[in-house]
Amino acid sequence: MEVLGENIVEESTTRFQSQHEHIDDETELCSYVLTSFPFILENIFRCLTAKRLNTCSRVCKVWHAAAKKVKHSRKAVVWNYFKEENDKNGVKNIVSDVKRFIKNLPVEPKFVLLFCSTNLFDEPVKVHQSNGRRSRAAKRERIDIVEYLNRQLPEACQLCAISADGVIGTSSNLKQTEEMEGVLAMSCVCFAEMNQVDITQMYLDSDQGNVLACYWNDTAKENEFDFSLIPRDRLLKMITFLCDEPFCSQELSFSLYKMYNHPLVVGGFVDNVVCPPAWKNNHTMDSPFLCCVGFGGENLQVASVILKDDVKNKDEVAKVIKTLKDVGLPEENSLAFMFACIGRGQNHYQEPDVESKIFHKYFPKTPLLGFFGNGEVGFQYPLNPVPSSDFDKAVVQNHFKTSQTHYMNTHPPKLYHAYTTVFSLMSFS
């Protein structure tokens, strides 16, 4: 194929030169080739970052069409993790790596989910203030690593970030998955626009959370809420529940489970839910204590398992992970989250990366991200079929679906856990 392509280009260039003997400019020849042979142009564009690809798409219609085709051929999910090495420039090196990662993204991110270790979040990042030309005497401002990352992203991109005692991440080439405890570290995943997959987030302060929790027992109606929620028509398959209030009532998670027609609810309790810019600009609102990210759409499938507190060795871990494998979700375009108790990890197994390595063994094509928190949220999904004997016997067979929905609304699965690890898997068809 490559030889054939070279012959075509050579013949066409020779024909162009014979027809335009008065033109001997190499730039003219290159322009002819790059507008006459789309496959050559596409091969070049495949080497470009998303930012440079957008620039090239504005040259002409031919380049715009080629850039659009290359964009659609790329996977819509990109991930990586960053951690300090054994030197004194841990934060500085992470900042440099993050900047390079965002600059070289192959896709244009629409949403970014970030898990940051608390010790890294507490470290200030020094940046020059953008007030014209920079000099040695230019003022510097101190910001956190989340704000720094946010400034590198496109303005239209949404960012959800938390800090926790430890994070889990997978390298962009899928060769290494690591549980990072007690070190400066962060992991992130960037989502480009995907067909029939919808990602939406919402933040709640403590008062709003208390109101939403009343929806579970029908003491609060949806039309009484004076704050924004994820629209009910989003067909949510999974909600990530990220909370920095350790005494948050379980009724709040039950309300989400009931309101959005029984999606998978997973997540955990973290050290800090990072305040989004919209909240910072509104001083009348308290800081959010809960962030929920809803994943929905017809092209999304989800599953989940829990390593309970009595799982204490590799064989037991592998047995549970295998049940997730047996669900049979497509793995070519997939992503997984790991929400673990801070009491697990290396101290639990006396060996690092036990759970993440076993997951990677069963799911070598699936990136794994997550954190070590102060409590876990989740349940096994899909749920086991509800036994008909548990339904109200007064309900006739024709109303089976109605009775099943009523049963699930009034008998939610246990969502809050301690000393466990929750694995959730998303597959993008």
Q: What is the mean pLDDT of the chain?
A: 86
- Could you tell me if residue 240 is inside a domain? yes
- Whether 39 and 87 share a structural domain: no
DSSP string, 327-393: T----TTEEEEEEEETTSTHHHHTSTTHHHHHHHHH-TTS-EEEEEESSEE---BSPPPPPGGGS-T
- Whether 329 and 272 share a structural domain: yes
Domain boundary among 38, 73, 108: 73
- Domain containing 343 equals 75-379+414-429
- Whether 234 and 224 share a structural domain: yes
DSSP string, 235-295: -EEEEEEEES-TT--HHHHHHHHHHTTS-EEEEEE-SEEPPPHHHHT-TTSPPPSEEEEEE
**Percent of the residues in the chain that have a pLDDT greater than 90, as a whole number:** 63
- Could you tell me if residue 93 is inside a domain? yes
- Whether 189 and 328 share a structural domain: yes
- Whether 111 and 227 share a structural domain: yes
- Could you tell me if residue 396 is inside a domain? no
- Could you tell me if residue 407 is inside a domain? no
- Whether 166 and 100 share a structural domain: yes
Domain boundary among 28, 52, 73: 73
- Whether 212 and 113 share a structural domain: yes
Helix (H, G, I), strand (E, B) or coil at 403: helix
Query: Is 96 a residue whose pLDDT tops 70?
Result: yes
- Whether 296 and 309 share a structural domain: yes
**Percent of the residues in the chain that have a pLDDT greater than 70, as a whole number:** 84
- Could you tell me if residue 401 is inside a domain? no
Please write the tens of the pLDDT for every residue from 356-406.
Answer: 999 999 999 999 999 999 999 999 999 876 555 554 544 444 454 555 666
Residue 197 per-residue DSSP state = B
- Whether 32 and 181 share a structural domain: no
Query: Is 333 a residue whose pLDDT tops 60?
Result: yes
Structural domains counted in the chain: 2
Answering whether pTM is above 0.85, one says yes
Distance CA 185, CA 86 (A): 13
- Whether 65 and 207 share a structural domain: no
- Whether 85 and 54 share a structural domain: no
Domain boundary among 28, 43, 73: 73
- Whether 237 and 266 share a structural domain: yes
Q: Which two tokens stand for residue 260?
A: 């959005």
